[in-house]
Structure 1
Amino acid sequence: MSTGLLLNATICFAITISSFAFAWVLSQSDSQHNNKSRPALWSLITLWALVGLTYLPTTIRMIAAYMGNQQLDLTMYYIAALPFSFVAVPLVFFILYIIVGDQRISGYTSLLFVLFGATYLTLFYSSGVIGPTITPLTSLFTINSDIAINIYLIGLFVIPTAMIIGLLFLIFLQRMPKRLRYRTALPLVAISFVFDFMLTDMITLDDTMQLAARIFVLIGTVQAFLAYFPPMTLQEKLGIKKYEYILYETDEEEDYDEDDVEETYINV
């Protein structure tokens, strides 16, 4: 079979490793968070763990396709659909918690997206898939349920994406120091990047587009890591200082707060 499948498997494996590594590094910063910010932290850890769990069986899928094992390919596709269906849940919790700061409201709202994910999975597994179609670059499946696709698009994609855009809009409307704007906006852009291209990866029927989507998912994962742990050279170039890993922080910037009054900002 084509070496393009091995390239695809390598990209998926890189996404898996980087996502799990990012989740692990975030978990190690738990002691640096207070009780107010810890729920947001663990929602992010869950999000990146689900990304890794989606691309781990996808890696095996590409290897199975390379070896001509269609049954293993199909099995791994079904397994990958499980974490993929619930990626929106911690994302919605994270965004709502940043906006309202209430763990109960965020949790109850996230349960709605658990129901969306469960409904999608039920239709997905009951309707089955068509494939695999092996190409020189990838292995493609067609979801045999338009209703399942529409549920995911509307309930698990459009709404969370709109929430990300809305939160970004609020961030740019706020007056805040440059380092806090970087700290809040760039992670959301990276998450949106990964989230959008994961959907493209799952539903596209074009092998080149799927491979490109996975490359962009990998780029988004690296971007998210740089958003949380920027190297010193990047901090100097952007004019940002090393930040604390807390959700709500009181910060005083000499070049920003002309009246020397401390203000509280939401920090994701």
Structure 2
Amino acid sequence: MSGLLLNAAACAAIAMSAFAFVWTLHKQEYKDTNLPSLWALILFWATIALAFLFVCVRVIAAFYGYTGVDRICYYLASIPLAFLPVSLVFFIVYVVTGDKRASLAMSLIFSAFGIVYLWFLFTSEIAGPEVTYWATIFSIDSDAAITVYLSGLFIVPTAMVIALLGIILARKISKRHRYRIALTLVAISIVFDFILVDAIAIWDVMQVVSRIFILIGVVLAFLAYHPPDTLQDRLGIREIHDEIEVIDG
């Protein structure tokens, strides 16, 4: 089987798993105070699903030699990925402060970063696609776009995730709540980090490996809210199913 088909299968699995997780979050009942963080989580994972749906199409297009479709889908996928930190930042700020206005203000700042990144991306030269056995790779010939992506769209949100994890784990909370928070943030961190690896991959196998880890991150996020019985028994968190709740402050 071609490595490109394995690549496409990984992308399809990411999209379907993320959509499934979004659906389960949407169907649950939550406290009103948790709704802003709930919708931020839903938007985050829906953005992942949408982006990798486009990525899946572009990999399949590359497999069949449709480089034009590959290029179009590359640009389409870059749009949701550019705004991925927006919902994440809203979620983090709301969990820490409980203030929707502050959360919205910070989200707008990162929306501006996303717009600036897309402007540099769409106005710069994009080399590719370079289609190999494993992957289809584009190269961005814009230092400005790369700088905005790394500084505004990756480093700061990642630091915020790590800080939130430290803050939450320092609090005295129930074991089930600690499990859900820790695993959710670890899942988000894995997904976020390997999306960066995917974006800058110059080695074709690295692209496939990064997408497998992104899939693992999505699965971990699902397990944070729907742990199997054996895991609940082992960790002593069986009561986690008695009350489904979104992480809040």
Both proteins in one fold, TM over 0.5: yes
**SS where residue 226 of structure 1 aligns?**
helix
Matched residue, 2:231: 234
Distance 2:171 2:155 in 1: 25
Matched residue, 1:35: 32
CA-to-aligned-CA distance 1:37-62 (integer Å, 9 cap, x gap): 00100000000010011101110111
Matched residue, 1:114: 111
Matched residue, 2:21: 22
Matched residue, 2:217: 220
- Are 1:11 and 2:31 matched, yes or no? no
User: Cα offset for 1:180?
Assistant: 1.5
The sequence identity of aligned pairs, in percent, is 48
Q: Computing the radius of gyration over CA atoms, which structure comes out larger, 1 or 2?
A: 1
CA-to-aligned-CA distance 1:168-213 (integer Å, 9 cap, x gap): 1112222222211102111001011101111111121111111110
Does the 8 Å CA contact 1:62/1:138 hold for their aligned counterparts?
yes
- Matching residue's letter, 1:214: R
Question: Could you tell me the TM-score, scaled by structure 2's length?
Answer: 0.96
Residue in structure 1 matching 2:84, options 73, 84, 87: 87
Distance 1:197 1:173 in 2: 27
Distance 1:67 1:247 in 2: 43
User: Cα offset for 1:155?
Assistant: 0.5
Matched residue, 2:154: 157
User: Cα offset for 1:247?
Assistant: 4.3
**SS where residue 32 of structure 2 aligns?**
coil
Where do residues 1-268 of structure 1 align in structure 2 (5 Å cutoff)? 3-29=2-28, 32-240=29-237, 241-243=239-241, 244-247=243-246, 266=248
Question: Could you tell me the TM-score, scaled by structure 1's length?
Answer: 0.89
Distance 1:46 1:177 in 2: 27
- Matching residue's letter, 2:34: S
Distance 1:78 1:176 in 2: 43
- Matching residue's letter, 2:25: L
Distance 1:147 1:174 in 2: 40
User: Cα offset for 1:138?
Assistant: 0.5
The structure, 1 or 2, with the larger RCO (C-alpha pairs under 8 Å, 6+ apart) is 2
Gaps spanning 5+ residues in structure 2: where? none
CA-to-aligned-CA distance 1:134-179 (integer Å, 9 cap, x gap): 1110000001211101101100100110001101111222222221
Which protein has the bigger helix share?
2
Name the count of aligned residue pairs: 247
Runs of 4+ in 1 over 3 A off after TM superposition: none
